[in-house]
């Protein structure tokens, strides 16, 4: 996977944040961000742990959890709570402003972008006297084709 130019920018943003908050900027933390950029999908802390150790990185679960927290706090990662699952993360820059459709049977996650939803969000917020900033929408549904759905379960 070729490194994207944006990863350098994200690493700057991260070290800047760590410096400001007086957290230690360790090589390990920086390495976690590099690996996340390789994944290009949603992932849980456990999936990242398995991936990194599979790549030969000797990184503890504690480091992964704390680094994911820090990356979420400085908005490099977006944290999702999909129904019935542990928290999933993704780079905030990888696909801006998208929502998720989740199959309640097999757990398949489909990302989509629908501008009409942004319009409704703005309208609702303004109607209630708020200034809209962002939103998060999850549609819970079932796959159209039960065989595809079953297939996705075995992954």
Which residues of this protein are in contact with Zn ion, per CB under 5 A? 90, 103, 105-106, 108, 111, 143, 149
CB of 142 to Zn ion, least distance (A): 6
Nearest to 104 by CA among 90, 84, 88: 84
CB of 53 to Zn ion, least distance (A): 24
> Of the two residues 18 and 117, which places its CB atom closer to Zn ion in the complex?
117
Helix (H, G, I), strand (E, B) or coil at 40: coil
> Of the two residues 28 and 105, which places its CB atom closer to Zn ion in the complex?
105
CB of 46 to Zn ion, least distance (A): 18
> Of the two residues 36 and 106, which places its CB atom closer to Zn ion in the complex?
106
Nearest to 14 by CA among 79, 91, 88: 91
The torsion angles phi and psi of 24, rounded to 5 degrees, stand at -70, 135
> Of the two residues 59 and 68, which places its CB atom closer to Zn ion in the complex?
68
Residue with tokens 């939103």: 135
63 contacts: CB under 8 Å, gap ≥ 6: 28, 29, 32
CB of 139 to Zn ion, least distance (A): 13
């Amino acid at each position: 996977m070729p490194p994207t130019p944006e990863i350098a920018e994200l690493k700057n943003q991260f070290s800047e944040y760590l410096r400001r908050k007086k957290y230690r900027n360790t090589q390990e933390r920086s390495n976690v961000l590099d690996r996340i950029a390789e994944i290009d999908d949603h992932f849980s802390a456990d999936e990242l742990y398995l991936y990194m150790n599979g790549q030969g990185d000797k990184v503890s679960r504690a480091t992964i959890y704390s680094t994911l927290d820090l990356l979420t706090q400085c908005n490099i990662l977006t944290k999702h709570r999909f129904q019935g699952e542990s928290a999933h993360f993704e780079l905030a820059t990888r696909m801006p402003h998208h929502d998720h459709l989740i199959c309640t049977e097999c757990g398949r996650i489909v990302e989509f972008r629908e501008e009409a939803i942004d319009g409704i969000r703005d309208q609702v917020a303004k109607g209630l006297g708020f200034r809209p900033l962002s939103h998060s929408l999850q549609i819970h549904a079932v796959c159209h084709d039960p065989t595809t759905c079953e297939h996705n379960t075995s992954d």
